[in-house]
Amino acid sequence: MLWACLLFSDLPLRAAFDGSELAQPCALIDGPRQRQRVVFANAAAQARGVRVDHPPAAARAMHADLALRNRDRAAEQRLLHSLAAWAYRFSSHVSLAEPDALLIEVGASLRLFGGWPVLERRLRRELAQVEQDPALAVAPLPAAARVLATRHDGCFIAQREPMLAALAQMPIAQSGLRADAITLLYRVGLRTLGEVFALPRAELARRAGPDTLDALDRLRGNVQEVLPLYQPPQRFEHRIEFDDRVEAWPPLLFPLRRLCGELALFLAARDGGVQRCELVLEHEDHAATRLAIELLTPQREARLLYELIRSRLERVALAHPVCGMALLAKDLPTLRPQHQDLFDGKRAEALDWPELAERLRAHLGDAAVRALAQAADHRPERAWRFSRDAQTIAAELRPRPLWLLARALPLRGSPRRILAGPERIESGWWDGDDARRDYYVVETHAGQRAWAFLPAGASDGWMLHGWFA
Amino acid sequence: MSMDTGLSTALIDDFSALTHFDTRPADAYAHVLAQKQLHAHPERGAAQALEPALQELLKHPGIWRRASSTPQVRALSTGLAELDAQLPGGGWPLGALSEILFAHDGVGELGLLMPALAELTRRQQRVVFVAPPYIPYAPALAACGVDLRHVVQIDSSATEGSWSAEQCLRSGACGAVIGWMQQADYTQLRRLQLAAESGEALAFLFRPARAADKPSPAALRLQLHSDADRVDIEILKCRGSFDTRRRARLR
């Protein structure tokens, strides 16, 4: 295994200040309210004499316009997570080395990316786009990579022996050991890790404690290190806030394209697709406009998602100016690879009937999809029902219409002529729904054929019960 | 003068053909060229009218000429011999939208589909009624030979009907989808046509007769004309055939 360590030494500053602010002198303070100290200062601030461990007042005395802010650990963590999400594109083994480093296993995919020099250039280029400039080091062990990154930016060591040699040269101040252990070793007169490695184990354990021994063992690979791996989030939620109020949809398309691009990257990293997502248009004083987007099959192509969402967005009449936009996706099914049969031209989006019925029911309601069946009853309105189990019933030989009216209606006008009938249907005296009717097939003046009945024995009062459609 | 009118009619015909997506552009173009040639030399016969260059052009495999061959249309017999004879492929086009326009209920509009539906259910393919205006009467369906085990009815509102039909067509799990639309815009129809193509299903759409004048992307459009004595089927539009406005008797 080969681990690349990306050390973002100015991550706390990046998390608290944006790019343009960082060009000016700025510093972060931290600590209890009464004893706050400068913990980070950028190069511009250091050039003006601001040093780490200055109290805020001293720092301001060095430079009156110094931008001072409290350190925001939560923002740092968020930033590191977003960088991990980005790094997940290059390897499935990404680990957060908090507070300010990422470890990526690159050995397995080195060939895919065309070797380390190519991959390194790519990592640096992509990070430069988000204004990050980390120190990079590659070593066979994650702990060693982390330590080497502090001093040897850009080093690539694939073997254990040269790695140990490089580690031996590292000053103990940058060894990543605990501060008290470093102080202790320094006072003993040790200056490099190599000198520490040479000490007898038992003595070292007794003086510096088992934790230090363990850390040294991890550096050298004497014990296996178990790293918690980064897991990409289960849902996508990205938001863009606008500086101006947007009154019409065309200006929304540019940020929408960016959101779709981010969603596509997110989906590609998860090797999944999106089937349902939601575009939220935020208004200043009103409830947000929400657009639900449903797709027939999971998709993850940025251009396609953009086109689909754009077509929805175009139809929206914006009632209020938009001040922000968010894209949410929770339903992220795995993308089924499109496999095609060699001989059968069926497409990948084909669904089985159960799956289709399920989707229809989900959309239209549980009772919306029904099967038809015949029923053994002479009364026409009872000779059929919605049912899954079809009974075998002798086929009706007398004329029956393809359309049945749910309720018989008075026939408009009188029939032009009678084509067949009467057929007496008399049934149901036992269940209180007694029917005694004479059915006729009649033709109207418009040439329609109707199934109409007269009450038994009557000669007027035509009731329409069906159409021979 | 009459020459000019002839040419412009040909142009208009082919233009409508283009906008309806029912012929390849090359067909229309070659057709117009041929017409031009004919009118440019009215004294010559049709055979001599085509100059060698045009003859060469027409040998192109991408150009289909009506006189030379019939296009391949996969179809399912309508059960009416007279109608089958007039349809390319001899029946309802598979993987395409067929529209049936009618003015009054009960002129045999649904019966027109029954032989095809019976055949589909015999092949164990599913037949879906999407939001029918009345109850499809099970005893009558069974009497027409339709196997009810393969018949499904979907209840949906008018706005969701089009969506449901599209889902069914696209899924490939349905042999035929039958829908009713009072109001349908071109986009909706086009979506149904594309869904039918991708799902290789038969799509039937019943629409009011007043929709006959509106453009439609359907592969086949039939209109039922009923009067006191008979019901006729008029072929308004038929992909793969230039002879429209032909009729067959329904009953």
* Each residue's pLDDT tens digit, B175-184: 999 999 888 8
Give the residue from chain A lying closest to B166, CA to CA: A296
- Asked if A296's CB is within 8 angstroms of B170's CB, the reply is yes
- pLDDT for B131 beyond 90: yes
- pLDDT for B3 beyond 50: no
Nearest to B106 among A351, A355, A448 (CB): A448
Residues B158 and B210 in one domain: yes
**Domains in chain B: how many in total?**
2
Chain A positions touching B172 (Cβ under 8 A) are: 346-347, 349-351
- The pLDDT of residue A1: 84
Nearest to A400 among B143, B160, B170 (CB): B143
- Asked if B148's CB is within 8 angstroms of A372's CB, the reply is yes
Residues B108 and B230 in one domain: yes
CB pairs under 8 A between A and B: 168
Residues B116 and B183 in one domain: yes
Whether chain A has a CB inside 8 Å of the CB on B185: the answer is no
Chain B positions touching A403 (Cβ under 8 A) are: 105-106, 110, 132-137
Q: Could you report the per-residue pLDDT of A141-192, keeping only the tens digit for each? A: 888 898 888 888 888 888 888 888 888 888 888 888 888 888 888 898 888 8
Residues B112 and B197 in one domain: yes
Of the pLDDT bands very low, low, confident and very high (cuts 50, 70, 90), residue A343 is low
- The pLDDT of residue B243: 63
- The pLDDT of residue B177: 95
Give the residue from chain A lying closest to B131, CA to CA: A368
Nearest to B152 among A346, A369, A416 (CB): A369
Quick check: is B94 in a domain?
yes
Residues B49 and B107 in one domain: no
**Å from A229 to nearest chain B CA?**
39
Residues B148 and B89 in one domain: yes
Q: Could you report the per-residue pLDDT of B142-160, keeping only the tens digit for each? A: 999 999 989 999 998 877 8
- The pLDDT of residue A338: 52
Of the pLDDT bands very low, low, confident and very high (cuts 50, 70, 90), residue B2 is very low
- The pLDDT of residue B14: 44
- The pLDDT of residue A364: 82
Of the pLDDT bands very low, low, confident and very high (cuts 50, 70, 90), residue B118 is very high
**Å from A257 to nearest chain B CA?**
25
**Å from B80 to nearest chain A CA?**
16
SS3 track for chain A: CCEEEEECCCHHHHHHCCHHHHCCCEEEEECCHHHCEEEEECHHHHHCCCCCCCCHHHHHHHCCCCEEEECCHHHHHHHHHHHHHHHCCCCCCEEEECCCEEEEECCCCCCCCCCHHHHHHHHHHHHHHCCCCCEEEEECCHHHHHHHHHHCCCEECCCHHHHHHHHHCCEHHHCCCCHHHHHHHHHHCCCEHHHHHCCCHHHHHHHHCHHHHHHHHHHHCCCCCCCCCCCCCCCEEEEEEEEEEECCCHHHHHHHHHHHHHHHHHHHHHCECEEEEEEEEEECCCCCEEEEEEEEEEECCHHHHHHHHHHHHHCCCCCCCEEEEEEEEEECCECCCCCCCCCCCCCCCCCCHHHHHHHHHHHHCCCCEEEEEECCCCCHHHCEEECCCCCCCCCCCCCCCCEEEEEEEECCCCCCEEEEEEEEEEECCCCCCCEEEEEEEEECCCCCEEEEEEECCCCCCCEEEEECC
Q: Could you report the per-residue pLDDT of B15-73, keeping only the tens digit for each? A: 444 444 444 444 555 555 555 554 545 444 555 556 777 877 777 766 666 654 555 67
Give the residue from chain B lying closest to A385, CA to CA: B138
For chain B, the straight-line distance linking the first and the last C-alpha, in angstroms and rounded, comes to 43
Chain A positions touching B150 (Cβ under 8 A) are: none
- pLDDT for A464 beyond 90: yes
Nearest to A384 among B111, B114, B137 (CB): B137
Chain B positions touching A380 (Cβ under 8 A) are: 137
- The pLDDT of residue B205: 95
- Asked if A403's CB is within 8 angstroms of B135's CB, the reply is yes
* B residues 66-105 closer than 8 Å to A (CB): 103-105
Mean pLDDT of A204-218: 86
Quick check: is B133 in a domain?
yes
- Sequence length of chain B is 251
Contact assessment for residue B177 and residue B128, using Cβ atoms and an 8 Å cutoff? yes
- Asked if B107's CB is within 8 angstroms of A449's CB, the reply is yes
Whether chain A has a CB inside 8 Å of the CB on B12: the answer is no
Q: Could you report the per-residue pLDDT of A275-302, keeping only the tens digit for each? A: 888 999 998 888 888 888 877 667 778 8
Residues B25 and B116 in one domain: no
Quick check: is B194 in a domain?
yes
Q: What is the pTM of this model?
A: 0.50
Residues B30 and B90 in one domain: no
Whether chain A has a CB inside 8 Å of the CB on B231: the answer is yes
Residues B132 and B35 in one domain: no
Residues B89 and B150 in one domain: yes
- The pLDDT of residue B66: 61
Average pLDDT, chain A: 84
- pLDDT for B194 beyond 60: yes
Quick check: is B64 in a domain?
no
Chain B positions touching A441 (Cβ under 8 A) are: none
Helix boundaries (H) for B20-113:
25-40, 46-49, 52-58, 81-86
* B residues 133-172 closer than 8 Å to A (CB): 133-144, 148-149, 151-156, 160, 163-164, 167-168, 170-172
Give the residue from chain A lying closest to B106, CA to CA: A469
Nearest to A390 among B135, B149, B154 (CB): B149
Percent of chain A with pLDDT over 90: 9
Chain B positions touching A446 (Cβ under 8 A) are: 103-104, 226, 228
Chain B positions touching A372 (Cβ under 8 A) are: 136, 138, 141, 148, 151-153
**Å from A425 to nearest chain B CA?**
15
Least confident residue range of A393-407, B46-60, B72-86, B215-229: B46-60
- Asked if B173's CB is within 8 angstroms of A351's CB, the reply is yes
Does residue A458 or residue A370 have the better pLDDT?
A: A370
Q: Could you report the per-residue pLDDT of A114-131, keeping only the tens digit for each? A: 888 898 999 899 888 878
Least confident residue range of A207-221, A399-413, B231-245: B231-245
Write the CB contacts of B71 (distance below 8 Å, at least 6 apart in sequence): B64, B88, B240
Of the pLDDT bands very low, low, confident and very high (cuts 50, 70, 90), residue A442 is very high
CA–CA separation, B152 and B154 (whole Å): 7
Residues B37 and B111 in one domain: no
> Is this complex's ipTM strictly greater than 0.90?
no
- The pLDDT of residue B30: 52
Quick check: is B155 in a domain?
yes
Q: Could you report the per-residue pLDDT of B77-105, keeping only the tens digit for each? A: 999 888 888 888 889 999 999 999 999 88
Quick check: is B25 in a domain?
yes
Of the pLDDT bands very low, low, confident and very high (cuts 50, 70, 90), residue B4 is very low
- Asked if A467's CB is within 8 angstroms of B105's CB, the reply is yes
- The pLDDT of residue B203: 95
Chain B positions touching A390 (Cβ under 8 A) are: 148-149
Domain that holds residue B30: 2-58
Of the pLDDT bands very low, low, confident and very high (cuts 50, 70, 90), residue A433 is confident
Quick check: is B65 in a domain?
no
- Asked if B151's CB is within 8 angstroms of A371's CB, the reply is yes
- Asked if A393's CB is within 8 angstroms of B142's CB, the reply is yes
Write the CB contacts of A112 (distance below 8 Å, at least 6 apart in sequence): none
- The pLDDT of residue B48: 56
Quick check: is B70 in a domain?
no
Contact assessment for residue A415 and residue A463, using Cβ atoms and an 8 Å cutoff? no
Nearest to B167 among A359, A373, A397 (CB): A359
- Asked if A403's CB is within 8 angstroms of B106's CB, the reply is yes
Q: Could you report the per-residue pLDDT of A68-114, keeping only the tens digit for each? A: 888 888 888 888 888 888 888 888 889 988 788 999 998 888 888 88
Mean pLDDT of B227-251: 79
Structure tokens at A339: 């496999």
- The pLDDT of residue B22: 44
Residues B110 and B161 in one domain: yes
- Asked if B152's CB is within 8 angstroms of A370's CB, the reply is yes
**Å from A386 to nearest chain B CA?**
9
Compute the C-alpha angle A191/A3/A100, nearest 5°. 65
